[in-house]
Amino acid sequence: MNSEELLAQERRLQFTRFGNDVAIELGLHLLDAAREQGLPIAISVQRNGHRLFHASLPGTAPDNDTWLERKARVVERFGHSSFYVGTTFREKESSFEAESHLAPDLYAAHGGVFPVILRGTGPVGTVGVSGLPQAEDHTFVVTQLESFLDSHDTQ
């Protein structure tokens, strides 16, 4: 997947409202899908740095929480999905770690955390998972965001 495709996802997957109740519903939506698929992932939904939902399924470890935090920091700093940020560096035949000058123990431009974008406002939070290879983490989040937005009055 290239950076243009990843940007198109961000333009498409936007909310018209995003409060605590929506965040919890979104988290539960991801949790149900992960359980149905038997995925060993940790899930986090945040608004403006406030964690509103968190769950860790069997097969996860504390490291998954650390990865979620590192990927969320990238989204908060750059305003784009963690996978997009890493992909843009790879497309320039560079690396996020070398070029960003950000502490790698605090920031990770690996797939799995997506910005919660409020239409007409911009990024207001993050939704993410950790536990699968980065492209699979990203795809799971995007697929579940599409499903959630299609079935709720938040788009």
pLDDT score of 154: 63
Residue 155 within a domain: no
Average pLDDT over residues 106-111: 98
> Does 134 score more than 70 pLDDT?
yes
Fill in the amino acid letter for 87: T
Q: What pLDDT was estimated at residue 152?
A: 86
Mean pLDDT score, 123-130: 98
* Mean pLDDT, range 103-124, rounded to an integer: 97
The string of pLDDT tens digits covering residues 53-101 is 999 999 999 999 999 999 999 999 999 999 999 999 999 999 999 999 9
E strand spans, the chain: 14-15, 42-47, 50-56, 113-118, 122-130
Does any domain span residue 154?
no
For the residues 135-140, what does the mean pLDDT come to?
Answer: 98
Radius of gyration of the chain measured on its C-alpha atoms: 14
Percentage of the chain surpassing pLDDT 70? 98
Rounded distance, CA 46 to CA 128, Å? 9
In a domain, residue 74? The reply is yes
What own/partner pairs with CB < 8 Å and gap ≥ 24 does 98-107 have? Answer: 102/77, 105/70, 106/70, 106/73, 107/70, 107/73, 107/74, 107/77
Mean pLDDT of the chain: 96
> Angle, to 10 degrees, between the axis of helix 134-151 and the axis of helix 82-91?
130
Q: Would you say residue 133 lies in a domain?
A: yes
Domain harbouring 75, CATH code? 3.30.450.150
Strand ranges of the sheet holding 14-15, from the earlier edge strand across to the other edge: 14-15, 113-118, 122-130, 42-47, 50-56
**Total of domains in the chain:** 1
**Assigned domain for 95 exists:** yes
User: Which tens digit of pLDDT belongs to each residue from 7-63?
Assistant: 999 999 999 999 999 999 999 999 999 999 999 999 999 999 999 999 999 999 999
Nearest to 40, CA basis, from 50, 55, 23, 20: 55
pLDDT at 153 over 90: no
Assess if residue 142 is contained within a domain: yes
With b for 16 or more beta-carbon neighbours within 10 A and e for fewer, the 16-36 pattern comes to eebeeebbeebbebbbebbee
Domain range holding 35? 3-149
Structure tokens at 40: 């060993």
